């Protein structure tokens, strides 16, 4: 269900960009198809999950922030800042980060950390795979 929401939001942002802004993502255009596939489907989901979910959640959990919603928002803000290709992409990454981080925290609280990390990587990979084929 979360993947469906993320895909729907992507279509909304693609439409907004196409209709009103026509912002380009030059970084992605410089990569070959194989490099883009490796980066988006393998590297990014693993590294970003380790940094923006596992590590950041552990860090924020040790602070005095007891509100899970605030933790998810902070994690999503950090996630969005790693996607600074243009301002609209950052906004989309923040919203998608909310879903991804909610998913991670939900699984973490109901299962365990390893399962939360692995399922978040799988969700992130699935979403990026969809985006990879959407662009092609």
pLDDT at 62: 93
Q: What angle do CA 130, 9, 77 make, to 5 degrees?
A: 100
Query: Taking phi first (over 0 means left), then psi (-120 to 50 degrees means alpha), and beta for anything else, what does residue 22 get?
Result: left
Least confident of 25-34, 85-94, 117-126: 25-34
Which DSSP category does 84 fall into?
B
pLDDT reading at 136 higher than 80: no
pTM here?
0.88
Q: CA 98, CA 92: separation in Å to the nearest integer?
A: 10
What are the phi and psi torsion angles at 30 (to 5°)?
A: -85, -15
Q: What is the pLDDT of residues 52-84, one digit of tens each?
A: 999 999 999 999 888 999 999 999 999 999 998
Percentage of the chain beyond pLDDT 70 is 96
Q: What is the pLDDT of residues 21-44, one digit of tens each?
A: 887 777 667 778 899 899 999 999
- 99 vs 131, residue with greater confidence: 99
Q: What is the mean pLDDT of the chain?
A: 91
Q: What is the pLDDT of residues 97-116, one digit of tens each?
A: 999 999 999 999 999 999 99
Could you give the C-alpha distances from 63 to 67, 98, 131, in angstroms and in order? 11, 20, 35
């Amino acid at each position: 269900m979360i993947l469906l929401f993320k895909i729907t939001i992507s279509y909304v942002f693609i439409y907004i960009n196409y209709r009103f802004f026509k912002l380009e993502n030059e970084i992605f255009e410089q990569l070959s198809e194989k490099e883009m596939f490796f980066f988006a489907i393998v590297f990014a989901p693993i590294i970003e999950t380790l940094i923006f979910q596992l590590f950041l959640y552990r860090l924020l959990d040790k602070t005095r922030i007891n509100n899970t919603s605030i933790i998810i928002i902070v994690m999503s803000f950090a996630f969005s800042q790693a996607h600074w290709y243009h301002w609209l992409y950052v906004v989309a990454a923040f919203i998608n980060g909310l879903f991804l981080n909610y998913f991670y925290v939900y699984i973490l609280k109901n299962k365990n950390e390893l399962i939360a990390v692995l399922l978040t990587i799988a969700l992130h990979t699935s979403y990026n795979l969809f985006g990879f084929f959407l662009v092609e």
